[in-house]
Amino acid sequence: MFTTAPGAEGITPDQYAALLIQPVQGESVAFQVATQITTEATRTHLPIVQEDTGAAWTREGDEIPVEDATLGEEIVTPAKVAGLTVVSSELAEDSNPQAQQIVGDGLARSIARQVDAAFFGRLPDPAPRGLEAVQGVTTVTAGKKWANLDPFLEAIAQAETVGATLTSFTAHPTDALALATLKEQTGSNRPLLGSDPTAPTRRVIAGVPLHVSSAVTPGTVWGLPKDRVFVVLRRDVKVDVSAEPFFTSDQVAVRGTCRIGFGHPHPAAITRVTLTA
């Protein structure tokens, strides 16, 4: 850790994960719906199977026909995302785990919002490429308003046609509310969405969990297969502390930085369910 704030021993280098990474993973929807890869490298190469290797029925003793798979790759270069929070000197110096958690939560919320905004959107450089910028995703049109769950069943089927299984849907809060208020039939108070017995507050669509994020564009619901979407996290996480900008108020600035990128090696397995204008 680099610091110009003497006495701020409460925030120590060996607590980076507890202070920053673990809270970000808990706050960010992107980390929940995608597979995480942690790396030391500047760039990560994700293999793309463009065509599977061949297989054939073969008589006993005959040569097995050779047919190589057609492979490509996607290169993910994590970009820096940073959060800054200002706390009192007493809080920064406190070794109490609860005090450190307050600092970590503030940084985590700031960074998690930016991670999700980039993951589900199309932010300009230097942000990594998000879902809105991925070419070749499968699109399902749901009409002018949410009326039933048929578009989501179609999304699940579309993913299955390319050998993928959707493991999550993610919607904007307004769309999640609209879907949650759909009823089984006219005059019924029974919601159309299912529930997860292991997590009573979680909603599911045809058995697939529905996540909520304000980073998703209203009118869009993303269906993702976790094994085909990646969040790449560099290990060089830093927490820096400085009292210089706030010397007269006896406060310190705590800055957290990390590098994160996204990979989408199989765009056709990603499904975008959208409302028409």
* Mean pLDDT estimate for the chain: 82
Pairing mode, strands 238-242 and 199-205: unpaired
Give the 3-state secondary structure of 93-136: HCCCHHHHHHHHHHHHHHHHHHHHHHHHCCCCCCCCCCHHHCCC
Which tops the pLDDT comparison, 127 or 235? 127
Average pLDDT over residues 5-15: 47
Q: What is the pTM of this model?
A: 0.80
21-41 confidence digits (pLDDT tens) = 677 777 899 999 999 998 888
Is the four-CA dihedral 160, 164, 165, 170 of positive or negative sign? negative
Would the pLDDT of 246 be above 60? yes
Can you read off the two tokens belonging to residue 126? 């230097």
What are the sequence ranges of the domains in the chain? 13-49+71-274
Calpha distance 215→33 (Å, rounded) = 14
Calpha distance 62→75 (Å, rounded) = 40
Superfamily designation of domain 13-49+71-274: hypothetical protein PF0899 domain (3.30.2320.10)
Q: What is the DSSP string of 166-222?
A: --EEEE-HHHHHHHHT-BSSTT--SBSSEEETTEEEEEEETTEEEEE-TTSPTTEEE
Which tops the pLDDT comparison, 210 or 197? 210
Cis peptide before 126 (omega within 30 of 0): yes
